[in-house]
Amino acid sequence: MSRSLPTVDLFAPATMEPRLAHGIALFNRGEYFECHEVLEEVWTPERGERRLFLQSLIHMAVGFYHHTRGNPTGAIRQLRKGLRKLAGYLPHCERVDTARLESEVQVVLRAIEAGTPVSEYPRMHIR
């Protein structure tokens, strides 16, 4: 995981829904609870194929929120759910580099499962 990862510019992704871009920006700033709230607004009315993709991102945000709040068990459960749902959307979906996200979340998940410190959390990268 690189330390020089840029935060998503809310207005840069011309073809991305603004609320999704906002959720990604919150995720990348480590504002996981707020990210979850914004992405749930996008996810709730969805009924198509996109629904599981959004749900995977929500699970990851909630997982990292749990971990930052000292709940590794909740984090592990949420991250595993998120990874299972994200698997159908590789290597990218809606301009999100899902392959990179999956790989980086796996690294953090293994650290949490092992009880080792997490030095940084993944970010979502736009393609």
The answer to whether 61 and 25 have CB atoms below 8 angstroms apart is: no
Segment 64-122, tens digit of pLDDT? 999 999 999 999 999 999 999 999 999 999 999 999 999 999 999 999 999 999 999 99
Find out whether 96 and 119 touch, Cβ atoms under 8 Å: no
**Res. 14 pLDDT band, cuts 50 70 90:** low
Per-chain mean pLDDT for the chain: 90
CA Rg, the chain, in Å?
13
- The CA-atom distances, in angstroms, between 126 and each of 7, 44, 72, 101 are 10, 23, 28, 10
Burial bucket for residue 91 (CB in 10 Å: 0-12, 13-18, 19+): exposed
Name the residue ranges covered by the structural domains of the chain: 18-114
Q: What is the DSSP letter of 46?
A: -
% of the chain with per-residue pLDDT over 70: 89
| Full-model pTM | 0.88
CATH annotation of 18-114: 1.10.3450.10
Q: Are 57 and 23 in contact (CB under 8 A)?
A: yes
